[in-house]
Structure 1
């Protein structure tokens, strides 16, 4: 039996890799390939029957899957698009789940209202993986991709919270109460925010103090489960706690982790995410024939077809209706009024005279908020979401791995469970086929203006120059610095100012040769300036005058410099 399990795992990994390579070369969505290969594998002679329990999906697959997405999401993009992301991923998820639940229960009375709401919750979250992969290839604006990624992350958590309360309603002996569901939803969200934030913060502090890549990677693997299980024990949302922990880790890790730890984390979770997502679709395809057989005993082919078409039509209709409000609101906003308020706020700050250090710190913090407000307005004017952008956001409403995985968490033994799980899978499959295959052509049809490589390079050099100047301003002149209380040798100061430091601040990779007797002092000083540049980058990122891509590029360059200096 052990040999058979190892054979299945090895064959599954080989199929995942082959499907990914074929997808990249042909443009066919990898989930579709995996589902098809899974179906084919289920008909092979001697193919074993595999039963995946809901507990394994809910506690073993979804936490690391959501954490891997959250930890890599740029916080600046999430903040700037928070209003639209929260509208799509929280409000529209709840509305979609309830509307779909009500309509499905009305048209198919055999499906109870709680189970119908569970179906609505399962199919409501979008999956941005395929959409963003296509978008990067054909020139989708970065802000539209940021909205899709942020929506996909948060709506996974909110949909699973709704699913949790709906499943509780299925198990309840009394009738389903919308009021009770709302209260449970509120506590699930509030408790998850607190638990996820605390877990993320504490684990970042612990990993910051460890200088061991093995231990850091091990803790990184444990974080989603450390957040999930305590939240579940307190009747909060474990999956939302995982998302919050991931966002906190990603935000703090950019400043508190070493370059090596950040690189290890990115590689580890990208690999883990690939295996989990591919495995879920492959397993779903493998189980599909058995699921179809089970559904035949509960409903007819006509009823199942009607159910799938009704749910799909409602999803498309609700999504475009939900996007109409933000699209009209954004067009009506007057950015000049916001600029006027910011100018008035600046005049008020200029008139203030700090009486002590505390007031001076408050004024400095207020000026930073002012700069961030101006940067946000500039960003809105530089990268607005036009009607074409909203159309793409609506067209990119594909369902994916979370829909497939979450459907399996509906308790076994529930009446019409197989019908609902199969319907959810077929809806996800239709969206992947219909929207996934047509999205590239729709994006090309929109003809979005692209940012030139020269503009990206200029932004990179400008940000790098700014953080370098800030580092020099913060540390002061080289002549005034000391190492272990001793002044620096004048000849080394001259060499650093004329040859070495300009290369560090400019990000030049090839460092000049240095005599061994001054190497240690040179490395210490370079690391000192590099640390100051990281502080300046973190402060500038808090303002947000540049794109997240530019911040990542400068951070990657600083990481590369840090690794080379550590190896010196």
Structure 2
């Protein structure tokens, strides 16, 4: 089967599974993984294997970039210590625990560490789905952890693969140097690539060019970082966070809307396709195992899943007290989460796209030309662990959240409401000056003032009836003045984000509506 036929087959599977998942109320990744396994029975697909380098390059940068772009910088900053510890020490402990358990069950040391590194990081996309049922602080901490921990896991993974194939030699100094160089170099390259990208995009006027550069930025950051052997993951994360911070001011509404639509589609498609492709590879891996190997693989899936959960629970229930010994400030104690929220965070350690990509990227041969030991088993166990998190942890999480009685987090709604009121108030205050600057007819100005005053009354009274909002006739002068007011509102909410009054995610939510309104006005003039 050709690559084109495989692409069409995967697209049809993704479309069918997405529709079926909505009807049955089942998580789409579960169906996609099963469909990929069934697809592997097609004779023409039995010889299809993804190039290891292509997996990490085609899927990982785009997925991580978009998750970084839609993350809250404010919440990351306020929970930075917890995120840093979870994305470094916890990942290393998880990889070590899994490697120890796998080695005890007969896997050689090198492949055991490769497996441990592959399943150590949590998945940003899976965690993002949980944001609607979790308080913002917990959801952001989990999401940020899953973004940064990929860098730690992939350093361990690279070292483990290198040792196994004979290209690396392990020592404490070498390991420490790799981590330091990987993190610092990844951040530096991500910042450098993004600086150039932002400068170029700020001069573009074509939406297609904006979107193309938005797509090329994470790929370029990742490629350059990996070429000099530093963390491509951190380079991409830095890029996404930086662009999310500056895009409201530097890029026009039509470009933001176009990029948001296209990148959202591409990341959803890449994530879905990856689950299908790992199902195909998992089926292939099973065929390469004997009956004894399959039984051993299932035992490894259960053991590794148990170790992952146990290490995560152990860390989240001991690290706060270790931090307390080192930092006894009252504000530190006030920020410590009670036991029940920590149970929720422990149960939310889903594995997904990065683990799949890492397992599939294991090379087929050693430097000597011999086959990489237990490659099929590593892919099988990784796919099995991901399936366990999707089939067991995912259905249990809403019940655990209900048991935890987490306090309702109304801050995003309150911040959004406050930002809308402030934006309309400041737009009204700026209306006379904008009307003069745009030489607007007094009648048009009065019409807009009446609309905005009505909108302000609606916001202050929480009246849901906004059916007549923006129902005026399309007139070029009217539209030009109204666009100026939208720009004023946009500047207001960006300023509120910069001053910490509202969150980055609240800004993105409001910006989506303002951009759509601005583009709509442009199309009617």
User: Alpha-carbon deviation of 1:326?
Assistant: 5.2
**Equivalent residues of 1:84, 1:326 under 8 A apart:** no
Structure 2 residue corresponding to 1:184, chosen from 178, 182, 195 = 178
Equivalent position of 1:495 in the other structure = 446
Equivalent position of 2:368 in the other structure = none
Structure 2 residue corresponding to 1:320, chosen from 310, 313, 337 = 313
What secondary structure sits across from 2:113 in the alignment?
Answer: helix
User: Alpha-carbon deviation of 1:124?
Assistant: 0.7
Deviations 1:528-552 (A, max 9, x none): 4433433332221123334555433
Distance (Å, rounded) in 2 between the aligned partners of 1:472 and 1:99 = 60
Distance (Å, rounded) in 1 between the aligned partners of 2:28 and 2:425 = 46
What secondary structure sits across from 1:209 in the alignment?
Answer: coil
User: Alpha-carbon deviation of 1:204?
Assistant: 2.2
Structure 1 residue 483 and structure 2 residue 437: aligned? yes
When Rg is computed on C-alpha atoms for both structures, the one with the higher figure is 1
**Equivalent residues of 1:404, 1:424 under 8 A apart:** yes
Structure 1 residue 221 and structure 2 residue 215: aligned? yes
Distance (Å, rounded) in 1 between the aligned partners of 2:442 and 2:127 = 56
User: Alpha-carbon deviation of 1:89?
Assistant: 1.8
RMSD: 3.6
Equivalent position of 1:374 in the other structure = none
Equivalent position of 1:465 in the other structure = 421
User: Alpha-carbon deviation of 1:194?
Assistant: 0.9
> How many residues end up aligned between the 2 structures?
510
Equivalent position of 1:20 in the other structure = 18
User: Alpha-carbon deviation of 1:495?
Assistant: 2.9
Q: Is the alpha carbon distance of 1:472 and 1:122 closer, same or farther for their aligned partners in structure 2, counting shifts above 3 Å?
A: same
Distance (Å, rounded) in 2 between the aligned partners of 1:534 and 1:293 = 56
What secondary structure sits across from 2:76 in the alignment?
Answer: helix
Equivalent position of 2:129 in the other structure = 133
Deviations 1:464-487 (A, max 9, x none): 2224445677x6x83698539xxx
Structure 2 residue corresponding to 1:427, chosen from 385, 405, 408 = 385
Structure 2: runs of 5+ lacking an equivalent: 366-371, 460-465
Show the 5 A alignment for 1:350-369. none
Distance (Å, rounded) in 2 between the aligned partners of 1:205 and 1:117 = 42
Structure 1 residue corresponding to 2:348, chosen from 375, 396, 400 = 396
**Equivalent residues of 1:327, 1:387 under 8 A apart:** no
Equivalent position of 1:266 in the other structure = 260
Structure 1 residue 122 and structure 2 residue 115: aligned? no
What secondary structure sits across from 2:134 in the alignment?
Answer: coil
Deviations 1:404-431 (A, max 9, x none): 1111222212222222232222222222
Distance (Å, rounded) in 2 between the aligned partners of 1:505 and 1:261 = 28
Distance (Å, rounded) in 2 between the aligned partners of 1:494 and 1:175 = 73
Structure 1 residue corresponding to 2:248, chosen from 237, 249, 254 = 254
User: Alpha-carbon deviation of 1:497?
Assistant: 8.1
Equivalent position of 2:200 in the other structure = 206
Equivalent position of 1:561 in the other structure = 517
Deviates more, 1:184-193 or 1:535-544: 535-544
Show the 5 A alignment for 1:167-178. 167-172=161-166, 175-178=169-172
Distance (Å, rounded) in 1 between the aligned partners of 2:52 and 2:434 = 64
Q: Is the alpha carbon distance of 1:313 and 1:72 closer, same or farther for their aligned partners in structure 2, counting shifts above 3 Å?
A: same
Q: Is the alpha carbon distance of 1:417 and 1:225 closer, same or farther for their aligned partners in structure 2, counting shifts above 3 Å?
A: same
| TM-score of the two chains, using structure 2 as the length reference | 0.85
**Equivalent residues of 2:194, 2:217 under 8 A apart:** yes
**Equivalent residues of 2:70, 2:505 under 8 A apart:** no
User: Alpha-carbon deviation of 1:524?
Assistant: 4.9
Structure 1: runs of 5+ lacking an equivalent: 340-376
Equivalent position of 1:405 in the other structure = 357
User: Alpha-carbon deviation of 1:183?
Assistant: 0.5
What secondary structure sits across from 1:125 in the alignment?
Answer: coil
**Equivalent residues of 1:327, 1:390 under 8 A apart:** no
User: Alpha-carbon deviation of 1:249?
Assistant: 1.5
Equivalent position of 2:462 in the other structure = none
Equivalent position of 2:108 in the other structure = 111
Distance (Å, rounded) in 2 between the aligned partners of 1:450 and 1:268 = 33
What secondary structure sits across from 2:288 in the alignment?
Answer: helix
User: Alpha-carbon deviation of 1:12?
Assistant: 1.8
Distance (Å, rounded) in 2 between the aligned partners of 1:285 and 1:494 = 60
User: Alpha-carbon deviation of 1:210?
Assistant: 1.2
Q: Is the alpha carbon distance of 1:25 and 1:7 closer, same or farther for their aligned partners in structure 2, counting shifts above 3 Å?
A: same
**Equivalent residues of 1:23, 1:30 under 8 A apart:** yes
Deviations 1:129-155 (A, max 9, x none): 44543563xx33333222222222222
Distance (Å, rounded) in 2 between the aligned partners of 1:515 and 1:36 = 51
| TM-score of the two chains, using structure 1 as the length reference | 0.79
